[in-house]
Structure 1
Amino acid sequence: MSSKKMLHLATFVVLVLGMSLTGCSKKTAMTAPQMNASEGAGVPEPLETEENGIMEGRTSGPMVPVYFAFDSSKIEGEQMQRIGINANFLKSNPNFNVRIEGNCDPRGTQEYNLALGERRALSAKKGLIALGVQPDQLTTVSFGEEKLLLLGHDEISWAQNRRDDFVLIK
């Protein structure tokens, strides 16, 4: 085979391989709900929540999550207003129960983050009770770094992961 034919054949193979690897169709952006376990998002799990929708984070609407500073379980500033929103909702709905889920960003050890998530959940519970919510409406759990919303390694992602979620339970 001549060198010219070999060059054409090699070019053809490269083009075919290139097209098969890149594809020609328009691809949609991958969002968290579309990801599967093989892509690092974890396995979907049932949460036994009321079917009234998730508004922000993993919090059941119309409640809102509470966010924390790095390495802190103290509820500060506008986050106190968020506790107030949740307290008003729960006081208006005394038959509803909520699970307060403490979450952390992925920095720190697993044990440390579980303890910090617990302190965060207990801090929110204490704040809700101080505003008149009945203690028997509230349970707490710490997920530490196990339920990340954003998988990035930047301050925006970490800030979104440092939160308490308020999930209505049956």
Structure 2
Amino acid sequence: MRIDKTLYLVVVMMLLTGFGLTGCGKKGADVSAEITASEGLGPEESLETTATEIMEGRTSGPMLPIYFGFDQSSVNDEQARRLEGNAAFLKDEAGLKIRVEGNCDPRGTREYNLALGERRALSTKQYLVNLGIDPERLSTISWGEEKLLLFGHDEISWTQNRRADFVIVK
């Protein structure tokens, strides 16, 4: 009977302590105060773009990157239209130099992806040369899997990482 009474006292003490700690909160300042337009919204940004801003991937606008199939380095018909648009821009902007950057998704070894990225950059450069762009205006680099855009392990992420970017260097 003594143990039951002691247990009962311990339980009651714990409950009283719990109620004492939780208590009622103080009514303070109204937390639903209005936020002014300048608070929390950050600085106002222009929606205008220029030729050197990034538009898609890591490509300088108004050019667009091109995308490749898994383990592919040849330019397909759909991506050829993008390259034709990039070539038209480069013809209008004869003073610009471009770096074609080959990229891969993270599947495969580092060495393999660097080689695949290089093949992608070189085939893209050659396609632009065939469209009439002076090869002296074009340089290439392979990033392999080093400059991922998306870090997911799904087809959407992998597709976005298999690309050639066009970066204005001068």
Instruction: Name the TM-score class by shorter chain.
Output: 0.7 to 0.9
* Residue of structure 2 equivalent to 1:100: 100
Question: Computing the radius of gyration over CA atoms, which structure comes out larger, 1 or 2?
Answer: 2
In the alignment, which residue of structure 1 is the partner of 2:34?
none
Structure 1 residue 157 displacement after superposition: 0.3
Q: 1:7 to 1:53 in 2, by over 3 A?
A: farther
1:77 Cα deviation after fit = 1.8
The amino acid of 2:77's aligned partner reads G
Q: Which residue of 1 aligns with 2:10?
A: 2
Residues matched between the structures, number? 135
SS in 2 for 1:2: helix
Corresponding residue number in structure 2 for 1:111:
111
Runs of 4+ in 1 over 6 A off after TM superposition: 10-13
RMSD: 2.3
In structure 2, C-alpha distance between the alignment counterparts of 1:11 and 1:79, rounded to whole Å: 68
Q: Which residue pairs with 2:31 in the alignment?
A: none
Give structure 2 stretches of 5+ with no counterpart: 1-8, 22-49
In the TM superposition, 1:35-54 aligns within 5 A as 52-54=52-54
Name the structure 1 match of 2:162: 162
How big is the shift at 1:2? 2.4
User: 2 CA distance for matches of 1:12 and 1:96?
Assistant: 73
1:70 matched to 2:70? The reply is: yes
Shift of 1:119: 0.1
Contiguous gaps of at least 5 residues in structure 1? 14-49
- Cα distance per residue 1:47-82 (max 9 Å; x no partner): xxx972100000000100000000000100210001
Letter in 2 for 1:60: S
1:128 matched to 2:128? The reply is yes
Aligned residue type for 1:120: R
Counterpart code for 1:100: V
Which one-letter code corresponds to 2:89 in the other structure?
F
The TM-score normalised by the length of structure 1 is: 0.73
The separation in 1 between residues aligned to 2:118 and 2:20, in whole angstroms, is 60
